[in-house]
Structure formats: structure tokens, C-alpha cells
């Protein structure tokens, strides 16, 4: 374990990891998740959510090693990855491949929450594939772009029993919705007119320009 610090900010702890260690961890987690899914045919068992999160971080580390950035692991609720050469923090979020229930639109989508742009420099969102294991999409955002996401408090998570849900959230529909993004979002948030006017246009712009975020590793620069 070593110590690093951001420019003008308090020191924080990081953990060194090598590309070879990342490859081994991903290989081990692949096997564990595959075994868990084989015995979970009746839905009685579930892969621990924390494992999926760690899996996502190591996958991103592998890509950062390929870019020659030599990432370090972070902790303490700040971010997931520290890039020493750039002195930047990277947060990683993973979402399973989901479909809405009840009377909501049925388009397949990913949703990520608890995003805190104020703590990070870059955000990598991973959308899992249909087998809910291998990632099918990576979306890369800068701090400024993540600040456009809808605050979770405006989704209705401001009740005491949802106090742990803070930050911002984002939904992305696989291959684009069959109906307009605005039509889907309005049905989900039909009682929240202030979101329709203030936040939906921002999220709509993201959704209509996914090529500006999908696999855009080039954003992570000095």
C-alpha cells in the first residue's frame, strides 16, 4: 500500500497492482461467476453484488494498462482507480442487462446510480451483456459530463428508508428505444414534471449521441 495525493487535496491510500495480477483476478472471477450462474437456474442463488463491482474495476484496469497508464486501486469511498501519471481519479460502475416490469416500457436498458461527479475526474460505466457477465458496452464520461446526470433525490429517493441513495443516476437503452427517449422517460417520471423540463433534455442529448461516450477511452488523457 502506498500514499498519493491529488493536487491541493488530502492524501489518500492506494494499492499497487500489476497487469498480470489483474488478468489472473479476472480469470478467477470469470470462473466463479460462471459456476454461480450454472447453479442458479431456479433463481435461488445470486452472485454477490460486490463481486460484480470488483470484477468491473479489474476489467477497466486491464484496459488502462493497455493504454500505458499503470493504474492503482483506490478505496475509502473516494474512487476506484488512481492514475499516477495523470493524477486523476476514475470511478467504475456496472449495471446488469435489465427490462422494466409491470406497465412500464419493455426496452432493455442499463441503469447506474450513486454517481458522485464531485469526487472523480472520469467515470466508466459498464453495461453487462445478455448473460449478465461479460460486458457488452463501455461508456466513458468526464466529470463535467457526469454532472449532467439526474440527481437521485429527484427520482424519489429522498425518503428516510432510501437515505443511502445519493448522487446521480443514468439510464441507457440498448440500441436505442423503439419509441422516443422522451416518451419513455416521461412515462416513467410522469409525476415529476420538474425533471421533464430540467433534466430529461440533458439525458436525452447523451442518449442521442452515444457514440460520443461509447468506448471513448481517448477521453482519459492528461
Would you place residue 160 in the very low, low, confident or very high pLDDT band (cuts 50, 70, 90)? very low
**pLDDT score at 120:** 95
Cell matching residue 9:
487535496
C-alpha to C-alpha distance for 210 and 25, rounded to whole angstroms? 30
**pLDDT score at 139:** 94
Angstrom distances, CA of residue 184 to CA of 103, 153, 177, 181, 201: 12, 20, 8, 5, 13
C-alpha to C-alpha distance for 185 and 43, rounded to whole angstroms? 30
Selection from 177, 170, 172, 143 nearest residue 154 by Cα? 170
Q: What 8-state DSSP symbol labels residue 7? A: T
Q: What is the mean pLDDT of residues 33-43?
A: 71
- Residue 101 pLDDT greater than 60, yes or no: no
Q: What is the mean pLDDT of residues 37-51?
A: 69
Would you place residue 173 in the very low, low, confident or very high pLDDT band (cuts 50, 70, 90)? confident
Instruction: Express each pLDDT in 3-37 by its tens digit.
Output: 665 554 547 889 999 999 999 999 998 888 888 77
Instruction: Express each pLDDT in 62-87 by its tens digit.
Output: 999 999 999 999 976 789 999 999 99
Amino acid at each position: 500500500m502506498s500514499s498519493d495525493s491529488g493536487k491541493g487535496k488530502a492524501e489518500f491510500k492506494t494499492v499497487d497492482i500489476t497487469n498480470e495480477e489483474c488478468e489472473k483476478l479476472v480469470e478467477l472471477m470469470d470462473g466463479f461467476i460462471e459456476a454461480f450462474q450454472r447453479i442458479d437456474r431456479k433463481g435461488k442463488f445470486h452472485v454477490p453484488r460486490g463481486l460484480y463491482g470488483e470484477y468491473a474495476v479489474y476489467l477497466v484496469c486491464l484496459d488502462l494498462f493497455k493504454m500505458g497508464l499503470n493504474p492503482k486501486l483506490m478505496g475509502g469511498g473516494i474512487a476506484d482507480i488512481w492514475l499516477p501519471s495523470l493524477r486523476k481519479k476514475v470511478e467504475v460502475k456496472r449495471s446488469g442487462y435489465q427490462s422494466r416490469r409491470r406497465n412500464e416500457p419493455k426496452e432493455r436498458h442499463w441503469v447506474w446510480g450513486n454517481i458522485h461527479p464531485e469526487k472523480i475526474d472520469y467515470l466508466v460505466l459498464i453495461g453487462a451483456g445478455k448473460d449478465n457477465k461479460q460486458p457488452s458496452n463501455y461508456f466513458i464520461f468526464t466529470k463535467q459530463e457526469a454532472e449532467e446526470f439526474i440527481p437521485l433525490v429527484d427520482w424519489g429517493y429522498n425518503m428516510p428508508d432510501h437515505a443511502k441513495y445519493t448522487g446521480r443516476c443514468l439510464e441507457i437503452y440498448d440500441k436505442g428505444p423503439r419509441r422516443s427517449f422522451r416518451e419513455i422517460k416521461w412515462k416513467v417520471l410522469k409525476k415529476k414534471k420538474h425533471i421533464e423540463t430540467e433534466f430529461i433534455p440533458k439525458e436525452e442529448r447523451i442518449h442521442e449521441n452515444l457514440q460520443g461516450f461509447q468506448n471513448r477511452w481517448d477521453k482519459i488523457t492528461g
